[in-house]
Each structure stands twice: as C-alpha cells, then as structure tokens.
Amino acid sequence: MEKDKDNNKKPLKLSSSGRLQIRKNLGPSGGKKNNLGAKKTIQIVFRNKNNQQKSSSTTQSNFRGSSSFRSPTGITKTAPLSNFFNQNNKNFSNKNKKPLDNKKNTPKKSTLKPQDEDLGKINVNKILEQEEQEFDKFPSLAKLKRAREREKLQAQSDLDKNKVGREITIPEIITVQELANRMAEKTADVVKTLMKMGVMANATQSLEADTAEIVATELGHRVKLVNDDDILKEIEDNEEGEENLEKRPPVVTIMGHVDHGKTSILDAFRRSNVVSGEAGGITQHIGAYQISNNDKKITFIDTPGHAAFSNMRSRGSKTTDIIILVVAADDGLKPQTIESIAHAKSANVPIIVAINKIDLPAADPDKVRNELLSQEIIVEKLSGDVLDVEISALKKINLDKLEEAIHLQSDLLNLKANPNRSCRGVIIESKLEKGRGSVATVLIQKGTLRIGDIFVSGSEWGKVKAIINDRSVNLKEAHPSMPIEVLGFDANPLAGDDFIVVDSENTARKIAEYRFNKKQIKKNKAIKTNVEEMFEQISAGQATSLPVIIKADVQGSAEAIESSILKLSTDEVKTTVVHKGVGAITESDVALANSGKGFIVGFNVRAIPQARDMAKRDGVDIKYYSIIYELIDDIKNLLSGLLKPEISENITGNVEIREVFSISKIGNIGGCFVKEGIITRNAKIRILRENVVIHTGTINSLKRFKEEVKEVKTGYECGVMIENFSDIKVNDIIETFEVIETTRKL
C-alpha cells in the first residue's frame, strides 16, 4: 500500500525533456542516537522521460548533478555508492521501509515539520507543503484593500469622537476656503458637505451666510453671524465730555464765482501771492492755510470757482465751520455763486458775504445785496441775520472788519474740540510727489496727530512719517483745526476721505482691506437692464464711445475733469473715463490707452520719457493742459467729430427720356432732354416711372452728339447710359441729386 503511494507521486517538471524526482537516501543509520543531528544528503536525480534504461554514465552524471539540503549542524555524511546502485530502479524508498505495525505505532507528526525527530530524516515533500501553506497565508489585494478601508473608517470614527466643536464667526459673504480655515476642517470635507446639499462650489467661490451656517452646523460647529460693518465699530466716534473740550480756531471756506477775488483775499490775509502760481490766474486746487493775528488763529480753505470744481466746493462746505461767500461788486451773482450758496445751505453752515472789488468805478454793493434776496440770503443792512462786509483785496480795504466778523461768528458757534484723544480729520487734497511719495493735505478736526501714529484713510492706511504745515515747516504734532501735509500713505487717498488714527497696524490693515473690498464689489457690480431698455439700445444702435485716461497733479483736479467730461456725453456719443490718477503719465497709462483705443489727458503733469517713446511707437495721443477751459473745449470738439453728420439731398436736375436706342454689345441708351437744372457725369440719379422710383444708381456715360461731356445744362439734349441698368422706356424721368453732409456740434 505504501509502495503504491510512492508510485503515485507526481514528479515535478522542470522542462519538456526532463522530470525532477526527489528521493530520500539517508544511508545506514547505525542505530545511533547521535545520528539525528548529523548532516543528511538528499540526491536529486535527473532522468530522461523516454529513456528508462539506466546506464552507468547516466547514473554518474545524475550523481554528479545531485545537490544537497543540509541540516544546521554543518556535519556532512554522504551515502555510500553501493547503497545507491543497489536500489530499485522504480522506487528508491523501499530500502528504508518500516513494517506497517511500526508505522501505526509511530506518533503523528506535524505536516509543517520538515524534519522527523524520531527517524532523523528530512522530508522534502513536507518542505514543499510548508512553502505552499506559507504562501497561502499571504492575503489577497482585495483583502488588504478592505482592511485599509476598515482602518480608515475606524480612524475617522475615532476622530469624530475626539472632534472639538468650535464657535466660528461667519460674515455676510465668505469663501469656501475661508470657512474651512475657520472650522479647521479640510476644504474637501466642506465641498463634500455642500455637494450633499446640492450646492456645487469650489474652494474660491463665495457662500452666503445662511448656507455657510448650515455647513458649519452639519460639521458640528457653533455659528455666530456677524455683519461686515462690525469691524468699523472700532473706529466709531464717541461723544466727548464738556470738561475735556477746549476752544479751537474756526475753519473758514472761501467760495464764490471764478475771478471774483477769492484767492486774492486769502493772499491779503497771508501776505503772499498764490494767484501768480496758478495757471491762467484761476485757482484749480483746494488750498488750506492758517493765519494768526493777535494770537487768534483762523484756518482758511480756498476752493476753485470754476463750474467743473463742484465736488471740491461740496467737500469744502462739509469740512468747514463758516463760509465766506465772495461776490464781485461790479459783477453780481453768477452761476457758481448760486451753487456755492446751495452747498452752504445743504451743509447748514453760516455764511458771511464779502462784497469784493469795491474800489472799482463800476462797483455797486447794493445791487449785490438785492440779488442775494432771490437766493433767500438777507444781509444785516436789509434787516437780515447774514453778516456782510464791503472789502477790496487789492487795496486791502476793510480786511480787518472781515476778520472781526469771522471771530464774531466763531464765538457764536462756540467751536471746541478735545486735543487729548486719538486724532480724526478729513483729506482735503492728495497728490503724488517725486521723492516724497503720496502726500495728503489733512485738516485735523479732533485730537492731536503725532509722528509715528498709525492711521487709516478710506481704503488706504499708513504710518505718519512727517507732518508739514502750510508754510513748509516740519512739525512734531498737529492740533485741531490745523491744515497739514502728511507723509506716510501707502497709496493716494481720495479727497474727502476720513483720516482716523487707530491703535494697531493690524486694525488699520483690516479696515482698509474691508473698505477696498466694498469698493471693488461696488465697482464690479453689473447693471441690469430690462427688456425694454435692451430693445431701445438695439433700435437706436450702439452709442459711440470716447475712452479717456486722466492724469492730474492732484486728486481733486482729476475728479473735476472726470465730472466735466462725463457731462458732455449725449445719447449718441459718450465719454468713458477708463482710468484717472495722480502723478506723471507712465508706460502703464499708455498701454491702457492703447488697448482701449483712447487717448490720455495730462493736467499739469507730463509723461516720462519712456512713456513718450511708447506713445509715439503705438500711436497713442497725449494731450497736455494747464487750464480746464481749454481741456473741456477740446473734448467737446472731439465728441462733435464722433457725431454722425446730418445728411440731406439736393435735387440738381430733371431729365426726360424721349427716345431709347438699343445698341448691340452695349445696351440701351436714352436720348434725353434736360428740362430743369443740370445733369453731371458724376451725379447720382433716380429713374421715375409714373412718379415711382424704379432704380437708384449712377451714370455710366454722358454724351453730347458724339463727344463725352462732364455736364449738360437746361434746354439741351444728350445721350445717357445708366450703369448696370437697361430697362428704360420713353417718358421715364431721370432725377439727378447730390448728398450733402453737414457736420454737427454738441
């Protein structure tokens, strides 16, 4: 039975020509127990499958090719050759067979144990089985993947158990990335939660507060909704106690029509000559100055009088305590005078009327007082409550009375401020200077400004590097009602912005960033038009646009030019201010004008050499101005050139066809008689048949007898050949006309 088992063993194939059989040959044991640890030899015999005969050469080669598996003891014991050759050809294992009874009595051995301890043999079959079983112990890839998934889920559940719920603040609008950062969650988890809610959003997209609140609650966090404006609570102005207030100088704004002597009055007070420094002799900037007579200080703000500077006058009226309305005694009320009165009334600021130029022969102060009645300004001489002073700025007549009236009005207003607090003020003007950077004229309203203070102004912030007064003197600190120049802005603020000193740089940056974002949202906000407006635009056609880039020396002038240019727009042509800024014209301005097919307006500034070369190369037009009248007139002429000309027709002749001549290879020629006017070779014609226009075109040939002529006058006959038309008949009328284009103006 055991023999059959051995015979049924399948040999291993190493190749198609041979068969590997492993036989056990342990040699004579000698009955010694110490043989158990001795080295044993296993012979591997290679036999040809087809050749069953055993030759000595084959046997020897097989023996030479035998290999040994050795036990760990390192002692070698080789089986004798006689034992090898005495074995049966079919089965080598018969030699060491034990009786069946002994086999039954032998204790059962482990299948994974390659060495039989009792018999001192190494079983190669067991070694192979052990290797197979060890290979089977390795898990499959799917099993490994499932195990990893289980570990991941287990780790996730442990993380959820240990998750800390946070209280987060959510503004009105928040991006997905920012929301994930505030919750300390992965952005992918937030996106996954949004997808479950049916909202498809990426990390950079914005969410409304309600959606963000649902996501945060879903992920186990507590939510506190806040408004964006809450950040501005840090710079809110508080009411001051009466005991902390001290008297401050009045802030006086001089307003009126252009060339009525506003700056001359200020020059007389300051004993300087500002007018000579202004182009064209008219003020084009807001000037802020402070005078001190008899230890009494007055701060003056001089505003332009030209119609274009309405915004400047409006800012001047809002930052002032008293308005001096200058009216020329020889000129009376003018449009800008009336506008100044309107600004003063809207700002609820008291007015002092200064009737200037009383030294002129044509001066009539009473006429001015009567004209003021039409604007509901009743002066004291007419039993009103408005102070009026007759002065002459050139002759310096009654300037002391005007100053006295200012102090009197100031005492009535009881102007006070707290100097021992954080500073607050307003930007009067800003400009960009070479070597100094952004410089702003600031009027201090409350508190004291010191060098090193951190401030925020509109959407800009900075740190005070220098404080300079109106006489170019460096100061260490500035008190209420003092006009100063401040250096230290990171960029140019806008005129009219607030100026607030804050505690830290972080606060200033946050407020400036919030204001900048609000400005960008407002700027990028799309204007929705209804269907009716859309159809109107389609029917009327696209309006012709004139892109303009404005660069000025100061911010206020740029705003004034922008508002003046925009007012020139009509339904047919309009101006578009692509960009306005302060400072010299640079390459970026030229590139912007080139891309927008516009031109650049430089007001009291010039282009740098690189920008000039670039403009010349790209064909960009740069126009320089120093007086605003000329600028507006030029823009008006440019817009007039964009207007479509008025087209009209002038009928020049009436010709009757009396005969039709048909010529082969040429066509029909009409024999005509000129009844009225004149027919010319280049004239446009209409052919009328029974007073119905059947063709409009041009003349191909006009002949008198056999000669080609340029024109034929009334009462003469001629031959006419019409271009691309031959269907002419007797009694048809040829009407000649010319198109006249008339240039339109705004």
Report the alpha-carbon distance of residue 688 to residue 695 in Å, rounded. Answer: 8
Q: Percentage helix, strand, coil, to 5, in the chain?
A: 35, 30, 35
| Phi, psi angle pair for 3, to nearest 5° | -65, -40
**Is there a contact between 628 and 561 (Cβ–Cβ < 8 Å)?**
yes
The predicted-structure confidence for 206-261, as pLDDT tens digits, reads as follows 888 888 889 888 888 888 887 766 667 767 777 777 777 888 888 888 888 877 78
Report the alpha-carbon distance of residue 537 to residue 539 in Å, rounded. Answer: 6
316 contact partners, CB below 8 Å, separation of at least 6: 253, 255, 286, 301, 303, 343
Report the alpha-carbon distance of residue 335 to residue 271 in Å, rounded. Answer: 29
Is 80 exceeded by the pLDDT of residue 562? yes
pTM: 0.52
Report the alpha-carbon distance of residue 232 to residue 517 in Å, rounded. Answer: 14
Q: What is the pLDDT of residue 74?
A: 41
Q: Do 145-226 and 646-742 come out as alike in CATH topology?
A: no
Is 70 exceeded by the pLDDT of residue 40? no
Q: What proportion of the chain, given as a percentage, has pLDDT over 70?
A: 72
Tokens of 557: 């002038």
For residues 605-609, give the mean pLDDT: 90
Is 50 exceeded by the pLDDT of residue 667? yes
Is 90 exceeded by the pLDDT of residue 588? no
Q: What is the pLDDT of residue 76?
A: 42
Instruction: Report whether CATH 2.40.50.100 matches the domain 646-742.
Output: no
Of 231, 238, 233, the C-alpha closest to 511 is 231
Q: What is the pLDDT of residue 628?
A: 85
Task: Give the CA count within 13 Å in the CB-facing half-sphere of 741.
Answer: 5
| Three-state secondary structure call for residue 615 | helix
Tokens of 352: 């002092």
| Three-state secondary structure call for residue 178 | helix
For residues 99-125, give the mean pLDDT: 56
Instruction: Report whether CATH 3.40.50.10050 matches the domain 544-642.
Output: yes
Q: pLDDT band for 53, please (50, 70, 90 cuts).
A: very low
Average pLDDT, the chain: 75
Is 90 exceeded by the pLDDT of residue 134? no
Higher pLDDT, 80 or 334: 334
Higher pLDDT, 165 or 725: 725
Q: What is the pLDDT of residue 527?
A: 39
Tokens of 453: 């203070």
Q: What is the pLDDT of residue 656?
A: 92
Is 80 exceeded by the pLDDT of residue 54? no
Report the alpha-carbon distance of residue 321 to residue 343 in Å, rounded. Answer: 13
Helix (H) or strand (E) run with residue 102 in it: helix 100-105
260 contact partners, CB below 8 Å, separation of at least 6: 305, 326, 327, 328, 331, 334, 337, 356, 357
**Fold of the domain spanning 250-415:** Rossmann fold (3.40.50)
Q: What is the CATH code of the structural domain delimited by 424-523?
A: 2.40.30.10
Q: What is the pLDDT of residue 402?
A: 86
722 contact partners, CB below 8 Å, separation of at least 6: 670, 685, 687, 695, 697, 698, 699, 700, 728, 734
Q: What is the pLDDT of residue 538?
A: 39
What is the CATH architecture assignment of 145-226? Orthogonal Bundle (1.10)
**Sign of the dihedral defined by the CA atoms of residues 575, 577, 582, 583, in that order:** negative
Q: pLDDT band for 434, please (50, 70, 90 cuts).
A: confident
Q: Domain extents for the chain?
A: 2-135, 145-226, 250-415, 424-523, 544-642, 646-742
The predicted-structure confidence for 502-551, as pLDDT tens digits, reads as follows 888 888 888 888 888 777 766 654 433 333 443 454 345 554 677 888 99
Of 316, 310, 308, 327, the C-alpha closest to 265 is 327
The predicted-structure confidence for 57-103, as pLDDT tens digits, reads as follows 444 444 444 444 444 444 444 444 444 444 444 444 444 444 555 55
Report the alpha-carbon distance of residue 486 to residue 378 in Å, rounded. Answer: 40
Q: pLDDT band for 135, please (50, 70, 90 cuts).
A: low
For residues 652-680, give the mean pLDDT: 89
The predicted-structure confidence for 489-502, as pLDDT tens digits, reads as follows 888 888 778 898 98
